[in-house]
Structure 1
Amino acid sequence: MITIRRSDERGQADHGWLNSYHSFSFANYYDPEHMGFRSLRVINEDRIAAGTGFPTHPHRDMEIITYVVSGAVAHRDSLGNTETIGASGIQKFSAGTGIAHSEFNPSSTEPLHLLQIWILPNQQGLRPGYEQKTFPPETKQGQWRKLASRDASDGSVKINQDAELYATILRSGEQQGYTLQPGRYAWVQVVKGEISLNGNALYPGDGAAIREEMDLTLEATSDAEILLFDLA
């Protein structure tokens, strides 16, 4: 079964400097029908104006992944990490017992476009940690590139949950399959472009929750960039 979450049905918060769309309930947006999917708790699509950003704020007991679509994000946290990461990069921090961080668009002219992803950890009270990596477009072109996993396999960042995050970039007309193991679930998020997912049309910002399906076929109907979460 595939349940589609349309882009224009998401929650929205427009703060001027920040325009954010929420696939699941977040902050002042509450929808009891959309509280997350399996261990996936947050997918926020954020556009942050030049020279602005989130001031220092705390988190705990959450695996937080930032996927940079365009522009760059400057990150500073209470562990002493000060990093800037551009498009095709991801950063992950395990908030664990507590971490404070800020995220800022360092450009004076260019907007920042990113996805902020929260995954519930498999246990509370973990030691906080930070990691970042860049996955060039060619490593995702026409194939699945593993970005995050419980065992940090294939060069992915490590998350404390039985979940895997993949990305692919498809040219118009290209197909990419994915097979779920029995008892697994998936969430597909369209970052850019348009695709067909097992015959269902998906557009930029659309997501799809997948249950009781094993074989997935994604076909790009325009050049597309897609995320796939394989979830317990």
Structure 2
Amino acid sequence: METVFHPSTERGHANHGWLDSYHSFSFSSWYEPSKIHFGALRVLNDDVVAGGGGFGAHPHDNMEIVSIPLKGSLAHKDSTGNEKFINTGDVQIMSAGTGLQHSEYNASKTEPVNFLQIWVFPKVNNIKPHYDQKTFDSDARKNNWQIVVSPDEKDGGLWINQDAVFARASLDQNIKLNYVPKFAGNGVYLFVIEGSIDVNGQDVNKRDAIGVSGSQTIEIKSLEAADVLAIEVPMGGI
């Protein structure tokens, strides 16, 4: 088993006024050679966009892009004709494939929106661009893994063009909850949204992350009430 610990205090940071962003992996002008990616996971940005602010139309191709609002709502528009609001409790995914353009703005003119922007390398390049979003019941992840992204429709999550799984759990204090990878050889990147957990003897606090690979079972215990996102991704061939 191999682990890599990424404390929140060592993330990259950029504050543009309208955007306050923390980067778990090298992004834009922040470059850290030890944090390029974790397997197929390339970007995990923790973004706060001020009221009325947002990202104007810009292109993507051959990337799986997941957005998870934690507070507030996003207004999304893309070149394939989708024009949606993404609210707290929703998850959005775009398979950029052969290429598209999209914009994301804070849906509020006055209140900030906080969301996670996550990029995963695709399994197959140059597919037709694909968009989907879904509202998930927060009660269904109480002391339990709720799958929100998976290539397997039976899991109940949004489809992704990769052997990758995103799962979220809201844990009471002193709950033990193991994570078992769906795909053999995959690693799991655990990002603590709120609270504090123990992962194989390592304390992982709010906005910290720990990547675990080479393990069939990852043992997790909540040290206090916690909200945890597990991102399972292939580790090889990237």
Pick the TM interval, shorter chain: over 0.9
Superimposed CA distance per residue, residues 206-226 of structure 1 (whole angstroms, 9 cap, x where no aligned partner): 111112222222222222111
Alignment of 1:42-191 (within 5 A): 42-180=43-181, 182-191=184-193
Distance 2:224 2:12 in 1: 26
Other structure's SS at 2:162 match: coil
Report SS of the residue matched to 2:133: strand
Residues in 2 aligned to 1:28 and 1:207: alpha-carbon distance in whole angstroms: 21
CA distance in 2, matches of 1:143, 1:86: 22
- Aligned residue-pair number: 232
Structure 1 stretches (4+) deviating beyond 3 angstroms? none
1:65 partner amino acid: V
* 1:3-42 to 2 correspondences below 5 Å: 3-42=4-43
* Structure 2: runs of 5 or more not aligned: none
Which residue identity does 2:123 align to in structure 1?
N
Give me the whole-angstrom Cα distance separating, in 2, the residues matched to 1:128 and 1:108: 30
CA separation in 2, counterparts of 1:214 and 1:154? Answer: 19
Counterpart of 1:199 in structure 2 is: 201
Note if contact 1:71-1:87 (Cα within 8 Å) is conserved in structure 2. yes
Distance 1:37 1:207 in 2: 11
Range moving further from structure 2, 146-155 or 99-108: 146-155
1:21-63 deviation digits (Å, cap 9, x = unpaired): 1111111111111110111110000011111111111111100
Per-residue Cα deviation, 1:107-144 (whole angstroms, up to 9, x for no partner): 13321111000000012111001100011210111100
Q: Which amino acid aligns with 2:131?
A: Y
Question: 1:149 and 1:73 mapped to 2: Cα distance?
Answer: 22
Counterpart contact for 1:152–1:159, Cα < 8 Å: no
Please tell me the residue identity of whatever aligns with 1:212. Answer: G
Shift of 1:192: 1.2
Partner of 2:219: 217
Amino acid in structure 2 at the alignment position of 1:20:
S
Which amino acid in the other structure matches residue 108 of structure 1?
K
- State how far apart, in whole Å, the 1-side matches of 2:174 and 2:87 are: 28
Q: In the alignment, which residue of structure 2 is the partner of 1:231? A: 233
Cα distance in 2 between the residues matched to 1:35 and 1:153: 32
SS in 2 for 1:216: coil
TM-score by length of 1: 0.96
Which residue identity is paired with 1:88?
G
Structure having the higher strand fraction is 1
Q: Distance in 2 between matches of 1:157 and 1:212?
A: 26
- For residue 182 of structure 1, report the CA deviation from its aligned partner: 4.6
Q: In structure 2, the residue corresponding to 1:219 is in which secondary structure?
A: strand
The CA distance in 2 between the partners of 1:83 and 1:183, in whole Å, is 36
Among all aligned residue pairs of Structure 1 and Structure 2, give the percentage whose two residues are the same amino acid: 38
The 1-side partners of 2:186 and 2:219 are apart by 16
Q: CA RMSD in A?
A: 1.2
Contact 1:187/1:228 (<8 A) preserved: yes
CA contact (8 A) 1:195 1:220 kept: yes
In the superposition, the TM-score normalised over structure 2's length comes to 0.94
